[in-house]
Structure formats: structure tokens, C-alpha cells
């Protein structure tokens, strides 16, 4: 009986039986040729100018090229190239910031709608001369000139004391309004025409309204220190309101400029009462001038 080993051909050939020796298939296995050299990986070349593509195929993939590593590097690169964390926080404004922005938008919109006398071509441009007359009645120069003349003509100590404090209050109002305007630097409305009477460099700013502060302060001063009948007291209050309203109708100021001006003038009167100059102080000021 023949041995089973005789039927199985030898796979690994010696001198010239294999592909490694003579370049031909070594033997058959169920009718198929077994090429041993195809399963071998050629060793990498040491130096020389070999094929870089073949050399790259023979090397294993580096750890930095793994999908997980690439995803991590991509996310880190995106976070590094994006905005800083503190800048991202600024994209979420607070409730106070949103409320102030909304109030500012309403203020600008309402001021533009109420500027019906900003020019002669406006819807109520025909009453613009009347509004400008009210504007002059609240200007600082007529008040200072009129107060100085009244102080010169006054012949009683009580009258001189009241008029002198009114004059000092007007000077204080000019200084405080000028300081606030220089600090805030809010521009006047875009529909305003700069044709005001006797303006200065600081008058190009809008906040607060100097006419409103002066009207509120002088209104409180007159009502507190002058004995007036009821109709005259009503006229004083009406004048204060009309001065503030004319600033918006003429397009000189925004609504918030006038409202803050009223509040500032109301508080300025309290400061005037705190710094009130008595008749003795007045005599001490007038004696060196005599």
C-alpha cells in the first residue's frame, strides 16, 4: 500500500524547486500553485532613493494618524482658533444691558417722531418760530443779563440777597451742565438743525438739556422765593413744561435728555439752598467793590 506522504507534494523546495530559488511554482496543491513569495513582506531599504509610496505602504500607520487622534486634534484646533471664553460670554448680554438697549431704541424712535418742528418742511414747521421764541426764553444769556441788571437796580437787602443767589444758581447751572455734557458726549439728534441762539463748543452735545435744567431750577426758585398769585404760579409751571417740550419738538434733544435735565435742575435747587448766601455775605462781597 503506498504511503500517504507520497501523494502530497513537498511545499518548501530546496535548491531550485521553489519560487525563491528558480522563480517557478514549487508544487501543486489540489490543482493550485502556491506562490510563497507573495506572502512575504520585503524588508525596508536602508537609505537610498527608493520608492516613497512603496516605503509608506510597508510602514505601519502612526498613532497620530488614528481617527481618534485626528478628531481630538481637530477639536483642539477649532477651540484654539475660535473666540476666547471671555469673548463668548459677551455674546450673552445681561438683562440690564438688554433693557437699556431697548430703552435707548425707544428714546431715539420717540424723539424722532416728536420732532415735528425740526425744520420748516416738517409737519408742524409753521409753529417753529414760536418754539424758537420759547427756546430763547430759557437760554442762559438772557437770564444772566436780566438777573445782573435786577441786582444792580435792587435797593433792598432782601431783594439783593434773593437776586444774588439766583445769579449764583445760574452760574452753577452752566458749570454743572457743561461738565456733564463733556463727560457723556452724546450727540444731538440727526434731524436737528444747529441754528440755536448763542451756542458754545459744548452745546454740540445733547445730554442733558441745559434749557430743561435751567427751567426746572429757576421755576422752583421763583415759586419758593417770590410771592405770586395762583394764576402766575400756573404760568411758571406751564413755562417750565413748554421749555422742555420745545427742545424735543425742535429736534434739539432726545426725550431722555429733557427728562434728566428736569431732574438735574430740581436737584440743583437743593444745592443752591444748601449754599445760600445771606445778606451779611452779600455785604462782605460788595464792600471791597465800593
Which one of the listed residues 139, 191, 225, 253 is annotated catalytic? 253
Res 194: pLDDT: 78
Give the H or E element holding residue 81: helix 67-81
Average pLDDT estimate for 225-236: 91
Task: Tell me how far apart the alpha carbons of residues 244 and 214 are, in angstroms, rounded to a whole number.
Answer: 10
Task: Tell me how far apart the alpha carbons of residues 99 and 254 are, in angstroms, rounded to a whole number.
Answer: 18
Q: What is the CA radius of gyration of the chain?
A: 47
Average pLDDT estimate for 12-23: 43
- Which residue has 422765593 as its cell numbers? 225
Percent of the chain whose predicted confidence (pLDDT) is above 70? 64
Give the H or E element holding residue 130: helix 128-137
50-92 pLDDT per residue, tens: 554 444 455 554 444 444 444 444 444 444 445 555 445 455 5
Residue predicted with more confidence, 119 or 7: 119
The 3 state secondary structure assigned to 175-226 is: HHHHHHHHHHCCECCCCCCCCCCCCCHHHHECCCCHHHHHHHHHHHHHHHHC
CB 257 within 8 A of CB 161: no
139 is catalytic: no
Residue 250, pLDDT above cutoff 80: yes
Task: Tell me how far apart the alpha carbons of residues 161 and 48 are, in angstroms, rounded to a whole number.
Answer: 109
Res 285: pLDDT: 64
191 is catalytic: no
Which one of the listed residues 139, 191, 211, 225 is annotated catalytic? 211
Average pLDDT of the chain is 75
Question: What phi and psi, each to the nearest 5 degrees, are found at residue 11?
Answer: -75, -45
27: helix, strand or coil: coil
Greatest mean pLDDT among 4-8, 68-72, 150-154, 276-280 lies in 150-154
| Low-confidence winner among 16-20, 50-54, 156-160, 264-268 (lowest mean pLDDT) | 16-20
91-121 pLDDT per residue, tens: 556 877 888 888 888 988 988 888 888 888 8
Domain boundaries defined on the chain: 127-286
Res 118: pLDDT: 83
Amino acid at each position: 500500500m503506498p504511503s500517504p506522504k507520497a501523494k502530497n507534494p513537498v511545499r518548501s523546495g530546496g535548491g531550485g524547486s521553489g519560487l525563491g530559488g528558480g522563480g517557478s511554482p514549487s508544487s501543486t496543491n489540489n490543482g493550485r500553485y502556491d506562490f510563497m513569495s507573495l506572502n512575504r513582506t520585503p524588508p525596508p531599504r536602508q537609505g537610498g532613493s527608493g520608492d516613497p509610496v512603496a516605503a509608506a505602504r510597508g510602514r505601519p500607520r502612526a498613532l497620530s494618524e488614528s481617527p481618534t487622534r485626528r478628531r481630538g486634534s481637530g477639536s483642539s484646533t477649532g477651540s484654539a482658533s475660535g473666540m476666547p471664553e471671555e469673548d463668548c460670554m459677551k455674546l450673552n448680554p445681561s438683562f440690564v444691558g438688554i433693557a437699556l438697549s431697548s430703552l435707548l431704541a425707544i428714546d431715539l424712535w420717540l424723539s424722532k417722531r416728536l420732532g415735528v418742528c425740526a425744520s420748516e418742511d416738517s409737519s408742524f414747521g409753521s409753529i417753529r418760530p414760536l418754539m424758537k421764541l420759547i427756546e430763547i426764553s430759557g437760554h442762559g444769556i438772557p437770564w444772566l443779563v436780566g438777573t445782573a441788571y435786577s441786582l444792580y437796580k435792587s435797593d433792598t437787602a432782601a431783594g439783593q440777597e434773593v437776586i444774588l443767589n439766583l445769579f449764583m444758581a445760574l452760574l452753577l447751572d452752566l458749570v454743572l451742565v457743561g461738565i456733564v455734557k463733556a463727560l457723556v458726549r452724546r450727540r444731538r439728534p440727526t434731524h436737528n438743525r444747529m441754528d440755536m441762539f448763542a451756542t458754545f463748543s459744548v452745546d454740540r452735545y445733547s445730554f442733558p438739556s441745559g434749557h430743561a435744567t435751567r427751567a426746572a431750577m429757576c421755576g422752583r426758585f421763583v415759586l419758593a422765593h417770590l410771592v405770586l398769585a395762583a394764576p402766575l404760579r400756573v404760568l411758571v409751571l406751564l413755562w417750565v413744561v413748554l421749555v422742555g417740550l420745545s427742545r424735543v419738538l425742535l429736534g434739539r434733544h432726545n426725550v431722555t435728555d429733557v427728562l434728566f435735565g428736569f431732574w438735574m435742575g430740581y436737584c440743583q435747587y437743593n444745592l443752591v439752598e444748601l449754599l445760600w448766601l445771606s445778606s451779611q455775605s452779600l455785604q462782605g462781597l460788595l464792600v471791597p467793590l465800593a
